[in-house]
Structure 1
Amino acid sequence: MTGKLIDGIAIGKEIREEIKEGVRKLSEKGCQPGLAVILVGDNPASHTYVKNKQKSSVEVGMKSELIQLPTTVSEEELLSHVEQLNEDDSIHGILVQLPLPDHIDENLVIRAIAPEKDVDGFHPENVGKMIIGQQSFLSCTPYGIIKLLERSGVEIRGKHAVIVGRSNIVGKPMGQLLLQRDATVTYCHSKTVNLSNYTKQADILIVAIGRTKFITDEFVKEGAIVIDVGMNRDENGKLCGDVDFESAKEKASAITPVPGGVGPMTITMLLKNTLQSAEQAFADGRCPQ
């Protein structure tokens, strides 16, 4: 058996069309959703990510603003830019591209973003609300994975989901979102002993461990759904994930490729969060008319 491909490009495109329609309707009421990105330094990967985010936001009709700052920018100056965006009613989503230079406290910067504009879903207030099941902005990659599963017809309720990875951005929120949808969740990580004992029990296996092609078919239960969050380069410089796709697809009933799986969904959900923020601002009378 060869696993069915879960196509993040196609599903992301479908959702973006829905977002585009939402942006059009809101803009017609005089409230154009706006996304601002702060980019510090000259990290090539960060520049690529930001360029893609800007391009995608413009494609769905959003206002896009980029603030580029040098690596030497002071923490105080960066926080000042965040505060200005917090006060700008034409901006509904604020994103500070990570990582930041060592002299800047990332947690301090994340906490400085107004929770109602935290479209990355990283602010402690949004994380706390997410954990107790209240309305909040959800971290974009886990949110995107939930949509991938739902739109691929995967039943989450009652399934055993195993997550390999415990980061604040993917692993931890991923488990909570699955738990809220009635999955039984097991967290694993780099220090887990006999990792395959757990992964082979997974109906839904989500891998975000940051190791190139680490998960082979020996870690996968027959018929499992495999979601690969990794983004690495192999010995030939080719993009690949944390899962050895060629071997794992022989065991999985469905699997995401890298690239073209989870990646497109992350930016898509960022746009969805920004639209949600703008809709709330309009409802609260905080959107300039």
Structure 2
Amino acid sequence: MPNDQPQTVTILGAGAWGTVLANLAFSNGHRVRLWSRDGSSTLEEVLQDAQIILSAISMKGVGDVVAQVKSFAVSPQTIFVTATKGLDPKTTLTPSQIWQTAFPHHPVVVLSGPNLSQEIQQELPAATVVASSVSTAAEYVQLVFSSSRFRVYTNADPVGVELGGTLKNVIAIASGVCDGLHLGTNAKAGLVTRGLTEMVRIGNFWGAKTETFYGLSGLGDLLATCNSPLSRNYQVGYQLAHGKTLTEILASLPGTAEGVNTCRVLVQKAQQQNIPIPITAQVYRLLAGEITPQQALDELMLRDIKPEYN
């Protein structure tokens, strides 16, 4: 499949992330079509003869767009790529699982990593991961998006790569709270490290490999999101710590903070399966207005003492 000929790449979603990915493919000489609900091109037009269909739409729009795409004829050779980070609140499915269910005979590739779109737009160096159960599909996508400023690695654990990018958003909210309360470097290091443990625990339940969470799409994305004011999820936590309500914060936020919805889904899933997720549970209570940021901190610090690797 991979060759050095220009490919036709359709990007669904013209937000910051979709636009950045479109620019990366375009800079590599590929034919790029960028679609949004408000654009002039129809979905049918942009899908025609596309070798790659990449979805960069927010989680709440995935199901609807998948249904629309399914109603049109798509080439049997088309590769689907998902760059959405979230969980469906009704089914708890990941975006790639939604795409794969709709297109069971097509390769689906997950693209995720420590990728703050504003930095990539400024052509600052970055790295990401493309993962699929079909290795040739991941390698194909790797070639289309790799550049001297954007290093793309392949991975054979799409579930782990996708969950790394999704679960870290909840920890990023907690991290924003930590900084907003001026709790210091020690507290932040402890929070992020225990947050990673929580991510691994949830990921293993979903069938993800532990080692994936120590790579770019897990630890890498966690570090970037928990330490940058550019992160929308970090901003939610930071502003909550400064006394703003969730409604006020979300109304002024540019784009979607996927961690808010992800947190709700995770708590529901964890209760059903009896998975201990103490940080996520406190973030959920904080987002619901049940406790203050300081009370959430106290709850975490006063938990029963235990061995680190239990």
Question: Does 1 or 2 have the higher relative contact order (CA < 8 Å, sep 6+)?
Answer: 1
Q: Output the TM-score relative to the length of structure 2.
A: 0.29
TM-score (norm 1): 0.30
